[in-house]
Amino acid sequence: MNTFNLNFEGKRVLVTGSTMGIGHAIAGAFHGAGAHVAINGRTRKSVANAIDALGGGDRLFAASGDFSQNVERTAAISSVLAAFGGLDILVVNAGRGDEVTIDAMTLADWDAMIGLNIKAAFFASQACVPALRQSRGCIVHVASVLSLIATAPNSILYCISKSAMVQMTRSMAVELAPYGVRVNAIAPGFMDTPMIAHDNEQADNQLYDYINYTVPLGRIGQPDECAGAVLYLAAPFAGFTTGSVLVVDGGIMAGRRI
C-alpha cells in the first residue's frame, strides 16, 4: 500500500481562525484533499463567507466563536465534535500579533495576546484530546519564526507567546505519545496575509520591499506554502514525527540577507 499521498478523504479536521490568511489556506487544502473541515472565525458572517469562498458543500462545517472566550470556544468545539462524531486533526491557528514596546506594554495587552495565543491554544487542544486519543489523531500548532528568533521590532509579547506555543507543542507531544497522538508545529516567516498587508500600509508601503530584500529566497511567502507544511505533518507518512517545529520562512533562520 502506498502511503505517500495527501489524501485525507474521510478525515475530520478543525482549523481555528480559518476565515482568512494562513488558516483559510490550511482549511482549503484539507478540504481539497477530501477531508471534512470545520471552519472557525469570530462571527457567523465571516465563517459563512469563508465557506462560500471554498465552494460550500456538505464537507464544510461552520464553527463560529471567539476562541479567546471560554464559553464560545467550548461551544464551538462541542458543536464540531458532535457534528463529526469525533476528530482526527486539530490545527490551532487563531492568534493575534499586536505590536507593543516594552515601555508601553499594559496588563491588558499581555492578557489579550497571551489569552488567545497561549491560553486559548492550550485549552482548545485540551478539549480535543479525548477525541484525538480515540482516533490516534494529531495536533498542529501554528507558531512563528519569531518563536525561535527575535528580530522584529516591538514584538516582544508576540515572541513570548509563540515561544511558549513551541514549548507547549513539545510538552504535549511527549505526554500524548503513549496514546498515539502526535503534536507538531509550523513556524511561518513573512506570509502574504491581511495582517502583513495592514502592517505594510502602516509602514508607508515599504514593508514588502524590506521583506523581499532580507528574506534569502527574495520574496514573501504564500499561505498555501504553510498549508503544505501542515498537511505534511498531519499525513500518515509523517507518523514518526512528533514534537517538531517545521520552519517555513524562506531561509530567515539560515541567515538573513544583508
Q: Which residues are catalytic?
A: 158
The answer to whether the CB of 138 falls within 8 A of the CB of 179 is: no
